[in-house]
C-alpha cells in the first residue's frame, strides 16, 4: 500500500511540475484567464506517465514563442526585459503575554523545571528557552543536560516573552512546483562535496593507483628513525600512527612520551574532535585524528636534530617520500596552499647533498594545514593583537569583498576551496555579475543573498574542516459591434533561482577537482572510487558522478541565463560532449524529480570552528541553524520585447492583435540561518542538532551554547 501511495505522490509531483512548465519550460507562463481565475485541471485530462513527462521536457528557448487559442503567435525577446525580484521583509513576532510557541527568558534565578511535582533542574536567571506547549499557568520547555534533553514545566510567572522569529526548519523543503532554489543546488553540492572528500581521504589512507596508503608508510617511517634521535617529533609520528589504527607496539624508550602526546591531544577538542563528515565511520574518525596530530606545529629551535632525523628517514624511503609529497599536493589542491612547506624544503636540501637547515623563526609541521581567505584576513586585520569585543569575521569578509579589497578569484596556487568560494562571491557582489544588467532585486532579496553567502560559506568550510587553517480593456468605435480581443497573460516562469554566475563557477570547481583526482590517482582509478554518505558508498562511481554534477550546474547556468534573457558564455572546455540544450534538459529533469533526490533530504545543521581566541580562551565558530523559507515575487521592471503575428503569418498590431498582459509570479526560496559566536565546547553534527532540537529558535539555540 505504501508503495502505491508513494507512486501516486510522485506522479502528482510530476504533474505539478508539468503544469508549471507547460510544453516549454523556458516560455513565460501564458494563460487565457487571469491568474486569480485559474481553473482546476479537468478530470478527463490524460495524464502522462513519469517517463513520458521526462521525455517531453524541452530546453529553454532563446526567443520563447507562445501559440494562442485563436492561432496568433506571440514571440518574446527576453533580452529586452529587466526582471524585478522582491523578497518579503523579515518580521519579528512576539507579544507581552506568553503565547506559545514562544521564545522566553527566565526572570527568576533558580526557577524550577518540573514534571509531576518533581524538580528536574533549576534554571538560571536570563536563560533563553523555547516554550512549546501551554497548560494553564505552566509552559513546557526543555534544556540540554549532559548528552540528553530534559523536558519539563515552568510557571509563567518565572518567564517573560522574547520577540523572535519562528524556529528554523531543520530540513530543506522541496516544493515540487518545477522550481529549484539556489539552496537546493547548494545542498546537493554539499552532500556531493562531503562524500567526494571522504572518498579521497580513504584512498589516501589505504592507497590507490600509484599512491601508497598512509596506513602503511607512516608506521614504517616512524620505525626507521633512531629513537635516540627522534624526540617529540618521533613520538608524535608514532602517536599519529596509533590514532590512525596501527596496533604495532612502539619502542619502549618513548612509550611514555607517546602516551602523553595522545593524552594531551585527545584532551583538546579543538584539535582532536572529528567534525563534519568524519564521524560517519570509525575509519574516517581515525584518519581525522591521525592527520590532525601531524598538523601539530613544532618549534625548530627546540627539536632541529629530531626533525632532521625524520627528514633523512623519509628521504631514504622512496615510496614513503613519494606518497608524502602526494599527500601534501592533494591537501593543497583539495583545500588551499599550505601555511608552511612541511618537510619538502628539507627533502630538497638533502637531495642537493646539503645538511638540512630549518628557519628558526618559522614553525614546522609534518602535515601542514591550509591557508584560507578568512584566516589571512583575520591576521591582516589583527595580527597578534587581542580580538576586540564584538568582532565578527564574516561581516569583515563581506565588507572587504564589497569594497574590492578582497577577492576569491582563484590564483595559480589556489585549491578547490578557493574555487568553491569564487562561486559564492556574486551573492555579495551581485552588481558586478553579468546578470545584474537584467535583474533588479529589492533590499530584502539582497539580504537573502547575503545570508545565502554566509550559510554556504560556513558549509563549505566544514567540508574542509580537517585541513583548513583554524583560524487592461478598450472599446471599439461607436456604432460598430464590440469585438473582444483575445487576452494573453504572461509572467516570468523561472525554474531556478536566477544566479547563473554562481552556478557556472560551481561547475568549474568540479572540473578543477576532477583534474586534481586524475592527477593524483589516475583517470581509470577514479572509476573505482565511490562518493561516501553517512550510510555508506553510493552506487555510481565518482568519475560518472563528477560528470553529473558538472552538467547539473552547467544546466542550471544555461536555464538561468535563458530565463533572464542573458546570452550564455560557457568556457570551451566545460560541458564538452553535450549540447547546451541537452545540459539544460539534464537540469530540468533533475528539477522535475526533486522530491526523490536523497541528497536533498539530510539535515545539514552544523558547527565549524573558525579561530581560537587566546585571550578569551574560546573558539569562534560559524553555525548553520537550519532554513527559513519565504515566498519571493518575480515581476517585470521592464517588459520583454513582443512581436505578434496572425494565423496567416503576417505581423499584427493594435486592435487586431491579442491583448498582452504582464504580471508577476511567486516562487519559494530558502535562506540559511547563520550565526558567528564564541563557544567553549565544540559540538559535532549530532551534538549540535540535538542542541538545536532542544532550544528550537535562533535566540535560544545561541544563548545556550557553552
Confidence of residue 89 (pLDDT cuts 50, 70, 90): confident
Cell of 333: 589542491
pLDDT at 148 over 50: yes
In a domain, 548, yes or no: yes
Q: How wide is the angle at C-alpha 491 spanned by C-alphas 22 and 70, nearest 5°?
A: 65
Cell of 660: 498582452
Lowest-confidence pick of 155-159, 161-165, 383-387, 487-491 = 161-165
Question: Residue 488: beta bridge partners?
Answer: 660
In a domain, 640, yes or no: yes
- Give the mean pLDDT of 469-485: 50
- Give the mean pLDDT of 518-538: 95
495 and 640 belong to one structural domain: yes
579 and 699 belong to one structural domain: yes
396 and 311 belong to one structural domain: no
Q: How many CA atoms lie within 13 A of 658 on its CB side?
A: 28
pLDDT at 146 over 50: yes
Cα torsion for 407, 410, 414, 418, to the nearest 10°? 60
In a domain, 331, yes or no: no
Q: How far apart are CA 13 and CA 5, in angstroms?
A: 12
Q: What is the CATH number of the domain that holds 108?
A: 2.30.30.40
Which domain does 548 fall in, by range? 1-88+169-209+371-473+485-706
Q: Determine the longest span between alpha carbons in the chain, in angstroms.
A: 113
Nearest to 452 by CA among 183, 179, 92: 183
Q: How far apart are CA 415 and CA 404, in angstroms?
A: 21
pLDDT at 7 over 90: no
pLDDT at 48 over 50: no
| Cβ atoms 160, 119 nearer than 8 A | no
Nearest to 245 by CA among 210, 289, 201: 289
Confidence of residue 54 (pLDDT cuts 50, 70, 90): low
User: Strand 618-638 to strand 665-679: parallel, antiparallel, or no bridges (unpaired)?
Assistant: antiparallel
Confidence of residue 51 (pLDDT cuts 50, 70, 90): low
Q: How far apart are CA 309 and CA 542, in angstroms?
A: 39
pLDDT at 575 over 80: no
- Give the mean pLDDT of 101-120: 92
pLDDT recorded at residue 14? 31
pLDDT at 384 over 50: yes
233 and 120 belong to one structural domain: no
- What phi and psi, each to the nearest 5 degrees, are found at residue 189? -65, -40
| Cβ atoms 138, 702 nearer than 8 A | no
DSSP 651: B
| Cβ atoms 155, 175 nearer than 8 A | no
Query: What kind and span of H or E run contains 284?
Result: helix 282-293
Q: How far apart are CA 293 and CA 367, in angstroms?
A: 9
Nearest to 114 by CA among 86, 84, 154, 83: 154
Question: What is 390-442 written as a DSSP string?
Answer: T--HHHHHHHHHHHTS------TT--HHHHHHHHHHHHHSGGGSGGGGSEEE-
| Dihedral class, residue 110 (left if φ above 0, else alpha if ψ from -120 to 50, else beta) | left
pLDDT recorded at residue 175? 59
- Give the mean pLDDT of 353-369: 86
- Give the mean pLDDT of 9-13: 32
Neighbours of 689 (CB within 10 A): 19
| Cβ atoms 655, 606 nearer than 8 A | no
Instruction: Name which residue leads in pLDDT, 96 or 306.
Output: 306
In a domain, 480, yes or no: no
For the stretch 62-72, pLDDT in tens is 788 999 888 89
DSSP 294: T
Strand order in the sheet with 73-77: 65-67, 73-77, 641-645
pLDDT at 204 over 80: yes
429 and 503 belong to one structural domain: yes
333-347, 459-473, 567-581 — which one is most confidently predicted on average?
A: 333-347
pLDDT at 39 over 70: no
705 and 617 belong to one structural domain: yes
197-211, 339-353, 646-660 — which one is most confidently predicted on average?
A: 197-211
- What phi and psi, each to the nearest 5 degrees, are found at residue 254? -120, 15
User: Strand 82-86 to strand 439-441: parallel, antiparallel, or no bridges (unpaired)?
Assistant: parallel
Mean pLDDT of the chain: 87
Q: How far apart are CA 46 and CA 29, in angstroms?
A: 21
pLDDT at 632 over 80: yes
Question: Residue 537: beta bridge partners?
Answer: 532
Lowest-confidence pick of 44-48, 78-82, 448-452, 567-571 = 44-48
In a domain, 329, yes or no: no
Q: Which residues, at least 6 apart from 345, have a Cβ–Cβ distance to it below 8 Å?
A: none
Q: How many domains does the chain have?
A: 3
3-state secondary structure of 344: helix
pLDDT at 408 over 90: yes
Nearest to 700 by CA among 677, 681, 684, 682: 677
pLDDT at 464 over 90: yes
- Give the mean pLDDT of 298-307: 86
Instruction: Name which residue leads in pLDDT, 25 or 600.
Output: 600
Q: How far apart are CA 343 and CA 300, in angstroms?
A: 12
Instruction: Name which residue leads in pLDDT, 638 or 4.
Output: 638
pLDDT at 515 over 50: yes
97-121: b or e for each residue (b if 16 or more CB lie within 10 Å)?
Answer: ebebbbbbbbeeeebbbeeeeeebe
pLDDT recorded at residue 630? 84
pLDDT recorded at residue 1? 34
3-state secondary structure of 496: strand
Question: What is 175-241 written as a DSSP string?
Answer: --SS-B-HHHHHHHHHHHHHHHHHHHHHHHHH-BTTBPPHHHHHHHHHHTS-HHHHHHHHHHHHHHH
pLDDT at 158 over 70: yes
| Cβ atoms 310, 442 nearer than 8 A | no
pLDDT recorded at residue 16? 32
DSSP 306: H
- What phi and psi, each to the nearest 5 degrees, are found at residue 119? -80, 115
Lowest-confidence pick of 81-95, 242-256, 326-340, 503-517 = 81-95
Cell of 12: 502528482
In a domain, 324, yes or no: no
Residue 217, CA distances (Å) to 207, 211, 278, 284, 647 in order: 10, 11, 22, 18, 77
pLDDT recorded at residue 400? 95
Confidence of residue 656 (pLDDT cuts 50, 70, 90): confident
pLDDT recorded at residue 640? 93
Q: How far apart are CA 680 and CA 705, in angstroms?
A: 8
pLDDT recorded at residue 478? 42
Question: What is 56-88 written as a DSSP string?
Answer: H--PPPSS-EEE-TTS-EEEEEGGG-EEEEE-P
Burial class from Cβ neighbours inside 10 Å (0-12, 13-18, 19+) for residue 19 reads middle
Question: What is 592-621 written as a DSSP string?
Answer: HTGGG-GGGSS---EEEEEEEETTTTEEEE
Q: How far apart are CA 209 and CA 542, in angstroms?
A: 15
pLDDT recorded at residue 22? 34
Q: How far apart are CA 696 and CA 687, in angstroms?
A: 14
Q: How far apart are CA 141 and CA 49, in angstroms?
A: 48
Kindly give the interhelix angle for 318-334 and 416-428, rounded to the nearest 10 degrees. 0
pLDDT recorded at residue 49? 53
Question: Residue 674: beta bridge partners?
Answer: 624
58 and 134 belong to one structural domain: no
Q: Cα dihedral sign for 48, 579, 194, 423? A: negative
Cell of 496: 531556478
527 and 573 belong to one structural domain: yes
In a domain, 610, yes or no: yes
197 and 260 belong to one structural domain: no
pLDDT recorded at residue 471? 58
pLDDT at 476 over 70: no
pLDDT at 277 over 50: yes
Cell of 2: 505504501
Q: Which residue has the cell 521592464?
A: 638
Q: How far apart are CA 328 and CA 621, in angstroms?
A: 26
Query: What kind and span of H or E run contains 142?
Result: strand 138-145
625 and 579 belong to one structural domain: yes
**What pTM value is reported for the model?**
0.88
In a domain, 95, yes or no: no
154 and 282 belong to one structural domain: no
123 and 12 belong to one structural domain: no
| Cβ atoms 511, 505 nearer than 8 A | no
Amino acid at each position: 500500500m505504501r508503495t502505491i501511495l508513494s507512486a501516486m505522490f510522485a506522479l502528482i509531483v510530476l504533474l505539478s511540475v508539468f503544469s508549471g512548465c507547460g510544453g516549454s519550460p523556458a516560455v513565460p507562463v501564458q494563460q487565457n484567464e487571469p491568474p486569480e481565475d485559474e481553473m482546476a485541471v479537468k478530470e478527463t485530462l490524460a495524464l502522462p506517465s513519469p517517463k513520458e513527462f521526462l521525455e517531453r521536457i524541452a530546453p529553454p528557448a532563446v526567443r520563447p514563442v507562445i501559440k494562442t487559442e485563436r492561432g496568433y503567435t506571440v514571440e518574446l525577446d527576453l533580452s529586452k526585459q529587466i526582471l524585478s525580484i522582491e523578497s518579503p521583509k523579515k518580521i519579528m513576532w512576539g507579544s507581552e503575554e506568553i503565547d506559545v510557541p514562544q521564545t522566553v527568558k527566565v526572570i527568576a534565578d533558580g526557577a524550577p523545571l518540573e514534571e509531576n511535582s518533581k524538580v528536574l533542574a533549576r534554571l538560571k536567571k536570563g536563560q533563553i528557552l523555547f516554550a512549546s506547549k501551554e497548560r494553564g499557568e505552566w509552559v513546557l520547555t526543555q534544556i540540554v543536560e549532559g548528552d540528553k534533553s530534559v523536558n519539563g514545566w515552568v510557571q509563567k510567572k518565572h518567564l517573560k516573552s522574547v520577540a523572535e522569529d519562528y524556529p528554523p526548519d531543520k530540513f530543506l523543503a522541496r516544493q515540487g512546483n518545477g522550481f529549484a532554489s539556489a539552496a537546493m543546488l547548494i545542498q546537493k553540492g554539499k552532500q556531493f562535496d562531503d562524500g567526494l572528500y571522504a572518498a579521497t581521504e580513504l584512498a589516501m589512507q589505504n592507497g590507490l593507483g600509484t599512491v601508497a596508503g598512509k596506513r602503511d608508510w607512516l608506521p614504517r617511517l616512524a620505525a626507521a628513525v633512531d629513537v635516540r634521535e627522534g624526540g617529540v617529533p618521533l613520538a608524535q609520528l608514532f602517536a599519529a600512527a596509533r590514532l590512525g589504527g596501527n596496533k604495532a607496539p612502539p619502542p619502549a624508550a618513548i612509550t611514555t612520551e607517546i602516551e602523553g602526546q595522545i593524552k594531551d591531544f585527545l584532551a583538546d577538542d579543538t584539535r582532536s574532535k572529528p567534525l563534519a563528515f568524519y564521524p560517519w565511520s570509525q575509519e574516517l574518525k581515525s584518519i581525522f585524528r591521525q592527520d590532525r596530530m601531524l598538523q601539530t606545529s613544532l618549534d625548530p629551535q627546540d627539536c632541529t636534530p629530531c626533525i632532521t632525523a625524520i627528514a633523512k628517514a623519509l628521504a631514504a624511503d622512496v615510496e614513503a617520500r613519494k606518497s608524502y609529497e602526494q599527500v601534501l599536493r592533494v591537501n593543497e589542491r583539495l583545500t588551499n596552499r599550505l601555511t608552511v612547506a612541511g618537510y619538502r624544503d628539507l627533502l630538497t636540501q638533502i637531495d642537493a647533498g646539503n645538511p638540512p637547515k630549518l628557519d628558526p623563526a618559522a614553525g614546522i609541521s609534518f602535515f601542514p594545514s591550509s591557508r584560507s581567505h578568512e584566516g589571512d584576513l583575520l591576521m591582516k586585520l589583527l595580527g597578534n593583537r587581542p580580538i576586540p569585543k564584538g568582532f565578527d569575521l564574516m561581516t569583515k569578509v563581506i565588507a572587504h569583498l564589497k569594497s574590492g579589497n578582497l577577492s576569491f578569484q582563484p590564483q595559480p596556487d589556489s585549491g578547490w576551496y578557493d574555487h568553491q568560494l569564487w562561486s559564492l562571491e556574486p551573492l555579495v557582489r551581485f552588481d558586478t555579475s553579468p546578470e545584474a544588467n537584467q535583474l533588479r532585486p529589492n533590499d530584502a532579496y539582497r539580504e537573502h543573498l547575503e545570508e545565502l553567502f554566509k550559510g554556504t560559506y560556513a558549509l563549505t568550510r566544514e567540508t574542509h574542516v580537517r585541513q583548513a587553517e583554524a583560524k487592461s480593456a478598450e472599446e471599439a468605435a461607436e456604432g460598430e459591434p464590440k469585438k473582444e480581443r483575445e487576452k494573453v497573460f504572461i509572467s516570468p516562469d523561472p525554474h531556478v533561482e536566477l544566479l547563473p554566475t554562481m552556478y557556472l563557477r560551481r561547475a568549474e570547481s568540479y572540473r578543477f577537482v576532477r583534474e586534481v583526482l586524475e592527477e593524483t590517482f589516475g583517470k581509470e582509478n577514479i572509476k573505482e572510487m565511490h562518493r561516501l554518505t553517512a550510510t555508506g558508498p553510493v552506487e555510481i562511481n565518482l568519475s560518472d558522478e563528477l560528470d553529473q554534477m558538472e552538467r547539473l550546474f552547467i544546466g542550471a547556468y544555461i536555464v538561468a541565463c535563458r530565463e533572464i534573457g542573458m546570452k550564455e558564455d560557457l568556457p570551451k572546455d566545460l560541458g564538452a560532449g553535450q549540447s547546451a540544450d541537452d545540459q539544460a534538459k539534464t537540469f530540468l529533469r533533475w528539477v522535475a524529480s526533486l522530491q526523490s533526490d536523497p541528497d536533498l533530504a539530510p539535515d545539514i545543521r552544523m558547527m565549524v570552528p573558525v579561530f581560537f581566541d587566546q585571550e578569551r580562551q574560546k573558539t569562534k565558530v560559524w553555525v548553520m541553524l537550519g532554513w527559513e523559507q519565504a515566498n519571493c515575487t518575480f515581476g517585470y521592471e521592464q517588459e520583454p520585447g513582443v512581436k505578434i503575428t496572425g494565423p496567416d503569418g503576417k505581423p499584427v498590431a493594435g486592435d487586431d492583435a491579442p491583448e498582452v498582459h504582464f504580471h508577476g509570479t511567486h516562487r519559494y526560496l530558502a535562506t540559511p540561518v547563520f550565526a558567528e559566536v564564541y563557544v567553549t565546547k565544540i559540538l559535532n553534527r549530532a551534538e549540535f542538532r540535538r542542541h538545536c532540537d532542544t532550544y528550537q529558535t535562533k535566540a535560544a539555540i545561541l544563548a545556550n551554547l557553552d
